[in-house]
Amino acid sequence: MIVSQEAPLDDIAEAVLARDEVARYLRGAHGHADARERVVGYLDELRTTQRYPIYRALKHPLYPILRKIERLSENVAVAQRATLAGRVVYASNHKSHTDYLVEPLVLDDNGVRPPIMAAGINLFGGPLGLIHRHVTGALPIRRNTKDPAYLITLKAYVAELLQRHDLMFYPEGGRSYSGEIKPSKTGLINAALHADCSNLVLIPCAIAYDMVLEDHILARQKVKRGQRPFSRELAEMVRYTVGYRSRAFVTFDDPIPLAGFDPHSRRDVLDLAHHTTRRIGRLVKVLPTSLVATALGPSMARGDLVDRVARLIDLLRAASANLELDHAGDVVEHGIRALEARGIVVVEGGRFRVRERNTLRFYARSIEHLLPRAAGRTH
């Protein structure tokens, strides 16, 4: 649970327990003898404290990684205006564990108050978990649980949270192991609609990297097979920091007012989730690495690659995609340089050859949703 000077823990806990849906659960047919104990236990699990000034001053455990990522923002004035007018829910695609750090820092860089970050509960072990609980104010989420006590408690908690804080979450749930944008889950969207804040808005946002830190790890696995301790994932990530440099583009879209959506209507919730996913997909910055990954065959001369990239640019421009570069020669130069440095492609005898096909496909899939099916992968 979030603790703040304005709303002590006990007050928020009481507010959650007094909400109609929680009270009905506790006294209803599903309210077993230990129901209240389970709800209170989940509230204790959700307890966290945001001390953001301390967070900014800390030598963060991931600082050696974070300093290798250049943070760039687009349309951040949208967030600046929205936070002055009321409460904000940010919904973003999810590419990397570094998203949790980059996106709130982009907001902070631009003078926007930091949101509470919804994060998988596997991130809350060890020293990083202590920082999440006692400094950054991250919200631990149990994904894929079916326990009604947890689902009701989480929904009520988020509704109370949004009376006091902004929130950022990832509708996809976990990171995309394939590279593409996954379908939205509706749990936190539905919870936000139950907040009953007349001035609450949802801001779609998207993050895109030249190179994703965990690209080799994610591409090799392709799909998530189970929840692993974050300490193990962090050790793998550190292994790939050698020589790693990237830019991170965080792009914000116009706010969606939530007052017109009925939280009790499954159709409204699904429509909002699908609309948000489409908006996020259009925001994704199309970078040279993704364009080259989409166009590159197993072995290709530079001229052929430039021609294919030029055709892709035409298709993306027609789809109003968020292109960084629109000159094919520049795209190939920048994209090949980054992919070669990462060991994904090699240049031999004037031809570009693919060394890591799965990783190349990981980047290609990040813009597949913007292209007609006929313009699919060539590798």
Cα 264 to Cα 146, 169, 190, 268, 317: the distances in Å are 19, 21, 8, 8, 39
Report the pLDDT value the prediction gives residue 232, as an integer from 0 to 100: 67
Boundary residue ending a domain (224, 248, 283)? 283
Do residue 170 and residue 195 come from a single domain? Answer: yes
- For residue 31, being part of any structural domain is answered with no
pTM over 0.85? The answer is yes
DSSP 199: T
- To which H or E segment does residue 280 belong? helix 266-283
Q: Which residue has the higher pLDDT, 20 or 296?
A: 296
Report the pLDDT value the prediction gives residue 2, as an integer from 0 to 100: 36
pLDDT value at 250 more than 80 = yes
C-alpha–C-alpha distance, residues 249 and 96, integer Å:
13
Counting the structural domains of the chain, the total is 2
- To which H or E segment does residue 169 belong? strand 167-169
- For residue 221, being part of any structural domain is answered with yes
- For residue 206, being part of any structural domain is answered with yes
pLDDT tens column, 24-50:
888 875 556 688 888 888 988 887 767
CA 143: distance to chain centroid?
15
- For residue 1, being part of any structural domain is answered with no
- For residue 68, being part of any structural domain is answered with yes
The CATH number of whichever domain residue 305 belongs to comes to 1.10.10
Boundary residue ending a domain (222, 251, 283)? 283
Do residue 195 and residue 328 come from a single domain? Answer: no
C-alpha–C-alpha distance, residues 87 and 198, integer Å:
9
pLDDT band at 1 (very low <50, low <70, confident <90, very high): very low
- Give me the domain span that covers residue 220: 51-145+154-283
pLDDT tens column, 106-129:
998 999 988 988 888 877 776 666
Boundary residue ending a domain (260, 283, 306)? 283
Cα 204 to Cα 24, 81, 251, 283: the distances in Å are 33, 14, 9, 8
Report the pLDDT value the prediction gives residue 379, as an integer from 0 to 100: 59
- For residue 17, being part of any structural domain is answered with no
Report the pLDDT value the prediction gives residue 65, as an integer from 0 to 100: 73
CB 331 within 8 A of CB 312: no
Do residue 119 and residue 220 come from a single domain? Answer: yes
pLDDT band at 4 (very low <50, low <70, confident <90, very high): very low
Rg (C-alpha) for the chain, rounded Å, is: 22
Do residue 89 and residue 232 come from a single domain? Answer: yes
Do residue 303 and residue 318 come from a single domain? Answer: yes
C-alpha–C-alpha distance, residues 261 and 271, integer Å:
9
CB 353 within 8 A of CB 346: yes
Do residue 130 and residue 269 come from a single domain? Answer: yes
